Amino acid sequence: MVAFLSRWAITIAALAVAAQLISGIRFEGASEGRAELEDKIVPLVLVALISCAITAWVKPLLTFLSIPFILLTLGLFLVVLNALLLRLTAWLADVVDIGFHVDGFWPAVWGSIIISVTTWILDAIVGVDD
């Protein structure tokens, strides 16, 4: 349970960093004052939960199915796979009307890179065991 909560908190931080740095990744909310913070924290937490679920269940299956592409591209296809999973997360968030958007493939690629690097750094600091 502690590992899940740590993973969830790290994903929340990584998504926040990506949304801050990439103009094509955003959370919708109120436009001013304290309401903006509250309106963006809840979607951020919920999107991180969706992302954790996708990473736990969908990513291993897609990674296994795409082994030939991963080998052929010397691992670079994993970046594309992570971008597609970020787009899937945004789509699911849109289906349940959370207010998370990824505008296109390239913001998803850069966002997935930032999320991966941020997650890697925070994992190293926190020491999350899988």
Query: Which residues are bridge partners to 100 per DSSP?
Result: 27
* Tokens describing residue 40: 């963006």
Task: Tell me: pLDDT of 15 over 50.
Answer: yes
Residue with tokens 């969706």: 50
Contact 44, 27 (CB under 8 A): yes
How much is the CA Rg of the chain, to the nearest whole Å?
Answer: 15
What are the tokens at 7? Answer: 């993973």
Query: Which pTM value belongs to this model?
Result: 0.89
Question: Which long-range contacts (C-beta less than 8 Å, at least 24 apart) are formed by 90-96?
Answer: 92/50, 92/54, 93/43, 93/46, 93/47, 93/50, 96/46
Model confidence at 30, pLDDT cuts 50, 70, 90, reads very low
Name the pLDDT band for 3 (thresholds 50, 70, 90): confident
pLDDT one-digit tens code per residue, 66-83: 999 999 999 999 999 999
How many other CB atoms are there within 10 angstroms of residue 125's CB atom? 9
Q: Measuring CA to CA, how many Å separate 75 from each of 5, 42, 56, 70, 79? A: 29, 34, 20, 5, 8
- Residue of higher predicted confidence among 4 and 38: 4
31: tokens are: 């436009």
